[in-house]
Amino acid sequence: MYMRLRPLAVANLLYGSRAGSSSSNSSRRFLINTRRSYSTRAPDNKRGEIDISAYPPERIRNFSIIAHIDHGKSTLADRLLEHTGVISKSGKNKQVLDKLKVERERGITVKAQSASMFYEHKGERYLMNLIDTPGHVDFSYEVSRSLAACQGTILLVDAAQGIQAQTVANFYLAFGEGLEVIPMLNKVDLPTAEPERAAQQIESAFEIEADRILHISAKTGLGVDQVLPAVIEKAPPPLGSVDKPFKALLFDTWYDTYVGVVCLMAIKDGSVKRGDRIVSSHSGTKYEVAEVGIMHPEQTPTTLLQVGQVGYIVCNMKSIAEAHVGDTFYKDRHPVEPLPGFVPAKSMVFAGVFPIDAGEFDSLNESIQKLTLNDSSVSVHKETSAALGQGWRLGFLGTLHMDVFRQRLEEEYDANVLITSPTVPYQIKYTDGITKFIQTPADFPDANIMQDFVESTMEPYVSATILFPEKYLGNMLELCTTHRGEIQNHTYIDETRVMLKCLLPMAEIVTDFYDKLKSKSQGFASFDYEEAGYRASDLVKMEVLLNGEAVDALAAVMHKSMVVTVGRDIAKRLKDVIRRQLFDIIIQTAANGKIVARETVKQLRKNVTAKCYGGDITRKMKLLNRQKEGKKRMKKIGKVELPQEAFLSIMTKSQN
């Protein structure tokens, strides 16, 4: 058994007693200091595990906080942890639950986290489980599974900014899960705060009475002491029975170097303890439980986890790919009905990742493997490009997910990578009834097959919600229509703000749609979306030809109406970045077997007539014709080398 010793006790042990003190006094002082070294919450057994079985479901509250980016969600979580004594009030607590560097830098939550708090209310002690969820639409499935582990949620709105697009999306996600929504206005202490206007927006958009809204300031602590009592009184306790067979919902995982995969679970029925054998409903794999506990806020082992509680389980799971968010676990030989809503992770945005230097392939491969240990939603397939060499085809949940992955590769592993333009999965329906998903332009059928064997092509659509001030309504309508959007409706949530709903092709929003949205609204618009299925669309494959040879890395699938505009733009930008050779370089873009744009990089020529200071014109023509023949022979054997700038130019949308 290991003992935690205070510094004085360690000093007495190593160096003996002070001068003039007897050895018996030294021993007694050592024993006293050893006794004082334990936490005030004494362990209940020799393994240092605490007992939380005294908390029945009636005295447990599982809740989350949903908010738009930068509305103070992580700050409120810090204040709640301080208020309940989980962390000290040192003033240095900033984003305690945001463990990743990218989360702290961007001010966003990427991975779900939980923290258990013990709180006394009206003479009774409650176990409060805060589940911190991501807010971005890319992680909407993880959010829905995290909310399924809760019974209530705090809807946090910035009193200065009012409700935003992400606020609307997260509210309806929580409303669809049947959670009790507890509205709160944050940052009411700011000089620019307008709590009355924000409360009116909440009442208009969500039909929540303004007198039910709490006014708080997470930064200063104003009104924070009212938050947990409101959760206890308004959020219902978890349902379930300890006498029923064990059933648990897996809502998050991470990889630990020493114990393997750590699973965060919400216990719906029964109980689980160390030594039990549990089974995954999705895969049928059996695991032996090595440790159970709660996040307080770090891993704190307990004797067991029972109905209504939220905690972690270490079960000797070796690979993160074995853990599926939304999966149901039960005890061996006691099968149960799986919980509804489980869907395997599905990638919606694909991109090629290649090392800048081919010699860094092995180190980049190792970095990607390490990074995917904690992110099973990234699909990885090796890919070889004639232009870029060996690399990978990675699938992501969305564009933010892809950007976060790239940033973590560069910051945590010091990797230099080239990421190709993101694409979305398309559907090809053939005349024989077979439907095929297309993830790369190379898999798209050529013009002859499209004409003879393809019945229809389909692309994914999203249902978008855009919130903005009224004066930008014209700009927003123009932006949506130029990106092939279908306007559904627009409503006024107050006198000055408009909520616009429209259908957009997903291929239109994975590139520069968000940048244009912020530009046309001077930064005031907010945007969120959800999947809306596949719809028929006239899709074609556009290829880039250099001297008649296709460059596979520059091929793209797009709507037929965009081919001419995009083709001309790509040809012009390639002409600016391709270096001149000793022969002409012909740049062409083609679709459906037809050339849609052409540019020519003129050859470098030596002035072969410089020595002809006079004489007949036939002397000059003879020299020029000889040079022309040499250029033809050189063009047959010469190859065009594309610089990295060419790919970066294509992958960066033009400012126009």
Residue whose entry in the numeric block shows the structure tokens 């279908």: 486
Give the H or E element holding residue 467.
strand 454-469
Q: What is the phi/psi pair of residue 82, to 5°?
A: -70, -40
Averaged pLDDT for residues 153-179: 87
Whole-number pLDDT of residue 48: 63
Q: What are the pLDDT digits (tens) for 458-482?
A: 999 999 999 998 999 999 999 999 9
Amino acid 656: pLDDT = 40
End-to-end CA distance of the chain: 68
- CA triple 621-626-628, angle to 5 deg: 95
pLDDT of residue 42: 43
CB 275: neighbour CB atoms within 10 A?
A: 8
Identify the pLDDT of residue 106.
65
Closest to 311 (Cα-Cα) out of 60, 562, 99: 60
**Residue 643 above 50 pLDDT?**
yes
Q: Strand, coil or helix: what is 600?
A: strand
β-partners of residue 467 are 499, 526
pLDDT tens digits along 402-453? 888 888 888 888 888 888 778 889 999 999 889 998 888 888 988 888 888 8
Q: 543-596: per-residue pLDDT in tens?
A: 989 888 888 778 889 899 889 998 998 899 888 888 777 778 889 999 988 899
Segment 493-500 shows an average pLDDT of 87
Residue of 429, 441, 428, 398 whose CA lies nearest to 531: 398
pTM: 0.71
pLDDT at 549: 83
Residue range 186-202: mean pLDDT, rounded: 92
**Burial of residue 547 (number of CB atoms within 10 Å: 0-12, 13-18, 19+):** middle
Tell me what the pLDDT averaged over the chain comes to. 82
pLDDT over 60 (residue 25): no
State the pLDDT at residue 238. 93
Q: Which of 344-353, 386-395, 600-609 has the lowest mean pLDDT?
A: 600-609
In order of 57, 79, 185, the CA distances from 220 in angstroms are 33, 9, 14
State the average pLDDT over residues 16-41: 36
**The total number of residues written for the chain in this structure:** 656
**Mean pLDDT of all residues in 632-654:** 60
Q: What is the mean pLDDT of residues 242-247?
A: 93
Strands, DSSP E only, in 144-259? 152-158, 180-186, 214-215, 247-256
Q: What is the pLDDT of residue 100?
A: 65
d(CA 582, CA 635): 8
504 pLDDT band, cuts 50/70/90, is very high
Amino acid at 317: M
206/200 Cα distance (integer angstroms): 10
Helices (H), 486-615: 506-509, 513-520, 563-577
Give me the pLDDT at residue 142, please.
Answer: 73
In 424-453, where do the E strands start and end? 426-430, 435-438
Mean pLDDT, range 140-154, rounded to an integer: 84
- List pLDDT tens digits, range 94-106: 666 666 666 666 6
For 224-242, the pLDDT digits (tens) are 999 999 999 999 999 999 9
Sign of the alpha-carbon dihedral angle for 89, 95, 97, 99:
negative
- Tell me how far CA of residue 655 lies from CA of 360, 516, 569, in angstroms: 32, 10, 11
* Top-confidence residue, 306 or 359: 306
Q: What pLDDT, on a 0 to 100 scale, did the predictor assign at position 8?
A: 38
Each residue's pLDDT tens digit, 517-533: 888 988 888 888 888 89
Angle 276-280-281 from CA coordinates, rounded to 5°: 130
Kindly give, in sequence order, each residue whose CB lies less than 8 Å from that of residue 244, ignoring residues fewer than 6 positions away. 269, 270, 307
* Segment 8-21, tens digit of pLDDT: 343 343 334 333 34
Give the per-residue pLDDT at 4. 40
Model confidence over 587-636: pLDDT tens digits?
999 998 889 999 998 877 777 676 777 777 887 888 888 877 776 666 55
Amino acid 514: pLDDT: 81
* Model pLDDT, residue 439: 83
Q: How far apart are CA 453 and CA 445, in angstroms?
A: 10
| b/e per residue 570-605 (b: at least 16 CB within 10 A) | bbebbeebbeebebebebbbbbeeeebbebebeeee
- List the single range of 26-35, 391-400, 477-486, 588-597 with lowest mean pLDDT: 26-35
Distance CA 508, CA 486 (A): 13
